[in-house]
């Protein structure tokens, strides 16, 4: 009688981890893209507040650049999330909308100021809701999501102010956007630093666990 031996399926570390742990690891690895977004926000804020006579074309180019960096950050997050077999479509949708908005800013620079303010407010509303939704979804799973939620709240606050003062147009909008960019840049930088620290600690623990005993 010939004995048969079933081949044990290959079990990876990801298979042994809980869903919560996988999400923490995936979003922790995205600290570099969050740091890049923070840097872009600070550049926009400094340029907007320190160069008050900036041309509308240059302002739109800066905002488009920041929006593209935000789209790249969303794609990077989707790449990490996909590796742990979680849903990526919300991040991909955000990236597509961000790129589309950047294209509008670059190819439609001479739109009337009130229309521009309304258009920018619409994008800020989309971004704010997306950031708040992501922060609520990851609450309790990923550390420091309150910082991401603070960025979403700041976005929605800017939307309310812009829509309440449409007649102030570009001059007012530029100062408001500059202040928002600096504030969100600070929140995102703090989030990136903390995620980087947590990611390094997790990496050190994994390396220590794999070290042979004795």
46-94 pLDDT, tens digit each: 998 888 777 777 888 888 899 999 999 989 888 877 776 667 778 888 8
Most confident by average pLDDT, 21-25, 38-42, 60-64, 200-204: 38-42
Confidence (pLDDT) at 13:
46
38/188 Cα distance (integer angstroms): 5
Confidence (pLDDT) at 26:
64
Query: Going by C-beta distance under 8 Å and a sequence separation of 6 or more, which residues neighbour residue 155?
Result: 124, 125, 127, 128, 131, 180, 184
126/74 Cα distance (integer angstroms): 14
Closest CA to 127 of 203, 180, 76: 180
pLDDT of 96 higher than 80: yes
Confidence (pLDDT) at 168:
57
Tell me: the pLDDT tens digits for 4-35?
334 444 434 444 356 556 666 666 677 888 89
Confidence (pLDDT) at 41:
92
Total-model pTM: 0.74
pLDDT over 90 for what percent of the chain?
A: 13
């Amino acid at each position: 009688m010939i004995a048969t031996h079933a081949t044990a399926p290959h079990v990876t570390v990801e298979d042994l981890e809980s869903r919560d742990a996988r999400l923490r690891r995936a979003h922790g690895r995205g600290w570099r893209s969050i740091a890049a977004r923070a840097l872009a926000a600070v550049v926009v804020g400094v340029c907007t507040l320190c160069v008050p006579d900036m041309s509308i074309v240059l302002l739109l180019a800066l905002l488009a650049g920041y929006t593209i960096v935000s789209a790249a950050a969303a794609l990077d997050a989707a790449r990490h999330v996909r590796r742990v077999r979680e849903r990526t479509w919300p991040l991909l949708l955000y990236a597509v909308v961000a790129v589309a908005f950047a294209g509008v800013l670059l190819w439609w620079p001479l739109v009337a100021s009130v229309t521009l303010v309304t258009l920018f407010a619409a994008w800020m509303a989309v971004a704010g809701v997306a950031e708040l939704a992501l922060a609520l979804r990851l609450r309790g799973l990923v550390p420091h999501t309150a910082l991401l939620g603070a960025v979403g709240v700041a976005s929605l606050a800017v939307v309310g102010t812009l829509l309440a003062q449409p007649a102030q147009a570009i001059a007012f909008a530029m100062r408001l956007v500059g202040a928002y960019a600096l504030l969100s840049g600070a929140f995102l930088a703090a989030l990136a630093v903390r995620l980087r620290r947590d990611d390094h600690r997790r990496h050190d623990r994994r390396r220590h666990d794999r070290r042979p005993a004795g």
